[in-house]
Every structure is written in C-alpha cells, then in structure tokens.
Amino acid sequence: MDDKVTENIVVEARIAERFNLEEIAKRIEGVSYDPEEIPGVILNLPGRSFILFEDGRVICTGSRSIDEARKNLGELVDILRGNGFKAKKRVRIEIKNIVISTDIKSRIDLERFALNHEGVDFDPDEFPAAIYKGDGNLLALIFENGKIVCTGSREMENLERFMEEVIGKVKEVG
C-alpha cells in the first residue's frame, strides 16, 4: 500500500455514572452547550474535541492512535476533576470510526473515474472530490491531486482493504 496516514480515530468511553451538563457548562471555561442543538457539552482543545453526554459517555475526536485517545481522555478527566466533577481514567475505550488517507502521487481524472465505476458521486460544482461508496458505511473521498481519504469502519484492517480497493479502481482508469 502507498503510505497510509491515520488522520483520526473517534472513540467513545463511559468516564462517569452521570454528568450534570449545565454545571459543566457553568464551571468549565470554553465549553459550549446548546441542548436544543446537541444533547451534550462540547469541549474543544487544540487538536482534539470532546462531547460529554448526561449518561457519563464521552466521544473523543482528533486522536491518531488508541494510546493518544487514552492520553486525551485522561487529560479530559483531569480537567473535570480539577473543576469538581467525578470521572474515571481506567475505562474501556470503543472505537467508533477511523479516518485514513494516502497520496498516490499522481493526478486522478475524477470524471473518468465516476463514469467507469458504480457507487461514485461526482459534482465538481458541489464538492471538489469524487465520493465512492463501498460496502456498509465505507466511504472514500478521491481528489484530483491524488489524495484519497477513507472512513466508515471501526477496524483498521477493513479500512486498509477498502483503501487498497479504491487505489486499484483509481489506477484502472489511469
């Protein structure tokens, strides 16, 4: 495979029994809370974001590995504890989604690709990439400059296989 980069691993963990979201929004600087928009408190830190839900779950985005996700969740727990909230560090982390990318280092004729393959949406007036839909939730964004972004799986092996499939289809059309 061409060099693959893990761009993002989205994880979920239960770090508390319950959260009082209004109290978190009052006490922790920089959070946003609009329960009519999202049923959680959003905390953005450089390079990562968290959504905390009332049932004690948290979604963490911006990590590039499970170890980094653990570190990021630990930092969140420290912030919560420092503001008087109970939270656990030793929790089970569940991967919700992975995003990987590669650069095939050659231009891709997106119109030709879209015409030659099923499951491809391409409208350059709407979005600068062809969107290729694989099995299940697998999705690839294919850019003219040779960059390919794949997402839609909780398992790296599935995503890597899908990326190989996409690269093969791209190289078929030249």
- Give the pair of three-digit tokens for residue 56: 């004690």
Domains 9-96 and 104-173 are alike in CATH topology:
yes
The ranges assigned to domains in the chain are: 9-96, 104-173
Evaluate whether 52 touches 35 at the Cβ level (below 8 Å).
no
Whether the model pTM is above 0.75: yes
For residue 2, pLDDT beyond 60: no
66: number of Cβ within 10 Å = 12
Q: How many CA atoms lie within 13 A of 163 on its CB side?
A: 27
- 106, with CB counted inside 10 A (0-12, 13-18, 19+), is exposed
CATH match for 9-96 among 3.40.50.720, 1.10.10.10, 3.40.50.920, 3.30.310.10: 3.30.310.10
Q: Count CB atoms within 10 A of the CB of residue 99.
A: 20
Percent of the chain with pLDDT over 70: 98
Condensed to tens digits (0 to 9), the pLDDT of residues 19-71 reads: 999 999 999 999 999 999 999 999 999 999 999 999 999 999 999 999 999 99
Reading phi first (left if > 0) and then psi (alpha if -120 to 50, else beta), residue 55 is in alpha
Confirm or reject CATH 1.20.1050.10 for domain 104-173, answering yes or no: no
Task: Identify whether the C-beta of residue 171 lies closer than 8 Å to the C-beta of residue 152.
Answer: no
